């Protein structure tokens, strides 16, 4: 594999023009590769809500008897509706009768399939506890900035599920990912379907301008590839490119602190030779990997906490503020210090790594 090149988040170079209008996927012969062909505005996400419930019976009413399974009652009807919905979903996928936006985001596949696959890991394996999700704006563009750790970037996916499942306005998080993500087979397609895009200023600004919720982890490989002895110590946040992007769009910055990811793969060593051969930024050595083979790649079932802090507004600054290096440094340091302080606070509060 060729050496992976990480494009800096604050790289303002042009990434090619994209047109307007979302595209509908046709059959296999009509499908355009991600990032090619006519493109456009991000489609609004489908609203997820709890199923409507029957009103409680009044004082003079007796509750209706529940239908037994197999007697043609509501349960059979619900099963038939779910079966019909599933067949309709398969028909749309096979015929290409579904839409993706110009970044490759597939809202239907994400809501009905990909989130359903991630949710058991989120709820049962890592048992994620979410705090402060109400601090994320209900509408409009916003930038969520989080710490990055865990050897593999599972923290980004868990943060995405947290927003998807717990935000009262049913918002969807669009993550900015490193260049390496989009050169790996299978991973590239899944990342695009989930709404991820390359961590560059141009894509981030386009998403914010369209009112999307954008997630970035400025530590990058320095965060997820750091030794276990440096856990929960934030690495450098780059040159403040994410602050410049937020200032240009007047989007609030929401700090996010994630506890629990550091211990899923305790990195006790780094094989630089293997990393160079494979084109990876690092090759982790943990107490179980590669010594136990594929079994060693199973993460430890740690208990996670994700806390979203109060948003830092940026709409009060003048347009030229995005070019002020002193202001960018100060805001970057403010976000970093808030995340670090919250990490220490959560670490003091937790009872153990696994419970």
Note the pLDDT tens digit of each residue in 49-74. 444 444 444 444 434 444 344 444 55
pLDDT class for 240, splitting at 50, 70, 90?
Answer: confident
Does 252 have pLDDT greater than 90?
yes
Contact 145, 218 (CB under 8 A): yes
pLDDT of res. 341:
97
Average confidence (pLDDT) over 238-260? 93
pLDDT of res. 95:
87
pLDDT tens figures, 283-313: 999 999 999 999 999 999 999 999 999 999 9
Dihedral of the alpha carbons of 136, 230, 197, 332, in degrees to the nearest 10:
60
pLDDT of res. 43:
44
How far apart (Å, rounded) are the C-alpha atoms in residues 101 and 82? 27
How many Cα atoms are found within 13 Å in the side-chain-facing hemisphere of 187? 13
**Encoding tokens for residue 98?**
């579904």
Average confidence (pLDDT) over 246-252? 95
Average confidence (pLDDT) over 100-114? 93
Q: Does the pTM of the predicted model rise above 0.85?
A: no
pLDDT class for 172, splitting at 50, 70, 90?
Answer: very high
pLDDT of res. 96:
85
pLDDT of res. 98:
86
> Structural domains in the chain?
112-264+299-349 (3.40.1130.10)
Contact 286, 267 (CB under 8 A): yes
Contact 30, 96 (CB under 8 A): yes
How far apart (Å, rounded) are the C-alpha atoms in residues 81 and 190? 28
How far apart (Å, rounded) are the C-alpha atoms in residues 116 and 330? 40
Does 202 have pLDDT greater than 60?
yes
pLDDT of res. 167:
96
206 closest CA partner among 16, 5, 6, 7: 16
């Amino acid at each position: 594999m060729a050496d992976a090149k990480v494009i800096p988040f604050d790289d303002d170079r042009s990434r090619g023009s994209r047109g307007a209008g979302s595209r509908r996927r046709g059959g296999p012969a009509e499908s355009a590769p991600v990032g090619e062909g006519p493109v456009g505005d991000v489609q609004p996400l489908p609203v997820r809500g709890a199923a409507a419930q029957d009103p409680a019976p009044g004082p003079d009413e007796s509750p209706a008897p529940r239908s037994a399974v197999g007697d043609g009652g509501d349960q059979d009807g619900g099963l038939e509706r779910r079966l019909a919905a599933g067949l309709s979903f398969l028909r749309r996928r096979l015929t290409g009768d579904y839409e993706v936006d110009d970044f490759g985001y597939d809202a239907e596949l994400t809501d009905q399939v990909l989130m359903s696959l991630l949710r058991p890991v989120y709820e049962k394996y890592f048992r994620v506890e979410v705090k402060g999700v109400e601090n994320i704006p209900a509408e409009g563009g916003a930038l969520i900035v989080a710490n990055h750790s865990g050897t593999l970037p599972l923290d980004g996916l868990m943060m995405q599920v947290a927003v998807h499942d717990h935000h009262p306005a049913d918002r969807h998080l669009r993550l900015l990912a490193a260049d390496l993500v989009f050169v790996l087979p299978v991973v590239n397609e899944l990342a695009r379907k989930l709404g991820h895009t390359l961590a560059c200023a141009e894509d981030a600004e386009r998403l914010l301008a369209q009112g999307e919720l954008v997630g970035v982890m400025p530590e990058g490989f320095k965060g997820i590839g750091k030794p276990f002895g440096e856990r929960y110590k934030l690495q450098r946040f780059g040159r403040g490119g994410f602050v410049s992007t937020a200032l240009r769009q007047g989007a609030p910055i929401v700090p996010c602190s994630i506890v629990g990811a550091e211990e899923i793969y305790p990195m006790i060593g780094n094989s630089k030779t293997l990393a160079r051969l494979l084109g990876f930024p690092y090759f982790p050595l943990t107490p179980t990997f590669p010594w136990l083979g594929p079994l060693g790649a199973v993460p430890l079932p740690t208990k996670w906490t994700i806390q979203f802090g109060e948003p830092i507004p940026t709409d009060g600054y003048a347009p030229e503020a995005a070019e002020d290096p002193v202001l960018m440094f100060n805001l970057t340091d403010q976000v970093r210090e808030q995340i670090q302080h919250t990490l220490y606070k959560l670490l003091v509060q937790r009872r153990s790594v696994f419970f």
